Structure 1
Amino acid sequence: MMINDFFRIGELISVHIQKSELERKEAELATPMLTDLEHIPQIFEWFCELSGDSGDGGKLNTDRKMQFLIIIMFFYSPISLTGHRIPNGIRDILTELLGYKSKSAVSNHLKNLVPTYDNYRMFREEVDLLYASIRSRLEDRGMLPYILIL
């Protein structure tokens, strides 16, 4: 009986190690690539240019708006794609760029971004292409920090 009790301590240590590693990994994955919100309008211009849309966010269809939102959230707040709060300032900029009357429209779209990306191949393929092109432009202009992958 006592050996079982001490086995639990080993299990507890193992759980603690796993929990620490998961917290470290979450922090790594949740760290945004971009923090300067002044880049968002430029990224929106590139998005419109690459997708063949006018620069008028109010005229974009819902799919295009959602594509732009998922790209911006991935750059600026990947944790928001898991249901966490959007950092201050981002929603204001997106509301204005996309021609929404209310900030809640941005939040409402966030709920559907990941399921839409996961479930609709064409949507996903377009997002992936647009993201890669925008990321390339950001890298070419030195707007993304250099990340050494070990």
Structure 2
Amino acid sequence: MELDFDKIIRIRKIRSVKSDLSKEENALARPVLSDKKLIPEIHKVFTSLIVERGCKPATNTVIQRKKFIFIVLYLYSPSSLAGDKMAPGLRDELSNVLGVQAKSTISNNCANLVFLYQNYTSFRKDVEYLCNKIISWLKSHELVE
């Protein structure tokens, strides 16, 4: 066996890249909001936006509920949209706001959110429109920067 110092150089480079990627992941996974007490207010804004767009105010339709859940996850637990666990207490708050008895319903609704967003243009456009409006509302109330 011969000495191969290139292995050492390669290990150092890999560690550096991993460190950089970890820092980037942490920055991307940082939630926009942490105060879960805002979720009922966000739900009110969401519902009013749905009505403005000519839809029935009921957010208990599965697709509207999924749009709301997607937006809340994006704001409070973005890494959960990438496969991580949901932020603690978020499932309970979503259940309460949406009037869902079984918390497993929330988990089941989360299962294909990214698929819906990536594959259904109307879902994606609605989510982007609603999320941008909600973020504007949050900014106007100085709840986010």
TM-score by length of 1: 0.89
Deviation at 1:61, TM superposition (A): 1.2
Partner residue, 2:38: 39
The answer to whether the 8 Å contact 1:83/1:111 transfers is no
Q: Deviations over 1:23-43 (max 9, x none)?
A: 001100111010000100000
Q: Deviations over 1:29-63 (max 9, x none)?
A: 11101000010000000000001142x54xx2111
Query: What is the aligned-residue RMSD (CA, Å)?
Result: 1.3
CA distance in 2, matches of 1:70, 1:11: 40
Deviation at 1:2, TM superposition (A): 3.7
The answer to whether the 8 Å contact 2:67/2:127 transfers is yes
Residue identity matched to 1:42: E
CA distance in 1, matches of 2:48, 2:79: 27
TM-score by length of 2: 0.92
State the percentage of identical aligned residues.
Answer: 35
- Verify: 1:102 aligned to 2:67, yes or no: no
- Verify: 1:113 aligned to 2:113, yes or no: yes
Residue identity matched to 2:12: I
CA distance in 1, matches of 2:113, 2:31: 17
Partner residue, 2:29: 30
Q: Which aligned runs of 4 or more in structure 1 are off by greater than 4 angstroms?
A: none
Aligned residues: 141
Residue identity matched to 1:39: L
Q: Which residues in structure 2 correspond to 1:1-150 (within 5 Å)?
A: 2=2, 5-52=4-51, 53-54=56-57, 57=59, 60-144=60-144, 146=145
The answer to whether the 8 Å contact 2:77/2:87 transfers is yes
Q: Deviations over 1:44-99 (max 9, x none)?
A: 00000001142x54xx2111111000100000000111221112221111112222
